[in-house]
Amino acid sequence: MNEQQIENMRKARNDMTRFLMTYKFALDEMNTKLMILKEEFQHFHDYNPIEHIKSRIKSPESIYKKLIRKKLPVTLDSIQKNIHDIVGFRIVCSFSSDIYLLSEMIQNQKDITLVTCKDYIKHPKPNGYQSLHLIVTVPVYMSDREEHVHVELQIRTVAMDFWASLEHKIYYKYSKAIPENLLAELKETAKIANDLDNRMEKLHRAVQHIKEQDMQENEDDMNMVNINEERFHLPMSMLQSFVSKEEDE
């Protein structure tokens, strides 16, 4: 390559780096939002609906292969308009009801815009796969502009994630047709996972009901708050002032 070609290649690399940085910032932004929801729920409901979160950014090679496969132009503008899963999150919840609760909490945030929603829980894929897929946009504030970046969220239960992970391993890099009897067996295991989800959900609700009936506030904990893994004393007179103000209103 001559000097001009080298310079053009260097510019293209820098443009791609700057472009992907916006997706890295979008990942950071969404991760912060999820961590806040997780911690808030733990504090005020004594329960955490999120078991764990995995996130990733597609590599340039994966993006390029997807453009070629879809016969799309290999440009930054084409990537931005057509590839909406460069940033991906897999959010694993405890119970099926947590999935829709979390989805609602995410969508209720004013700076998040829902682009698409595919509910593979109510409408499983033919092989039995279940998950809730959301494509949303989140704002990223750069020094010279504001970008609304697409983020894919896959929300599922532990049982759904267990099934999907093993299904992927079983058929990883296997491009031939799967025999019908094996497909039927795979779908049956998905039904078993779904039955397990439903039974655990019922147990969870039953125990929660018992907890609510037995719950009595411990006076020793009445004036203590836990923030950022630290325990703080809350003056009783301060609490009484808040109560008095609310009663006056």
Look up residue 101 and give its two tokens.
């609760």
CA dihedral sign, ordered 239, 245, 247, 249: negative
**152 is annotated as an active-site residue:** yes
- Cβ(198)–Cβ(96) below 8 Å: yes
Residue 119: count of CB within 10 angstroms of its CB = 15
Q: CA 99 to CA 155: how far, in whole Å?
A: 6
Catalytic-role residue among 61, 152, 230, 249: 152
The pairing of strands 230-233 and 132-141 is: unpaired
The pairing of strands 132-141 and 113-119 is: antiparallel
Q: Is 175 helix (H, G, I), strand (E, B) or coil?
A: coil
The catalytic residue positions are: 152
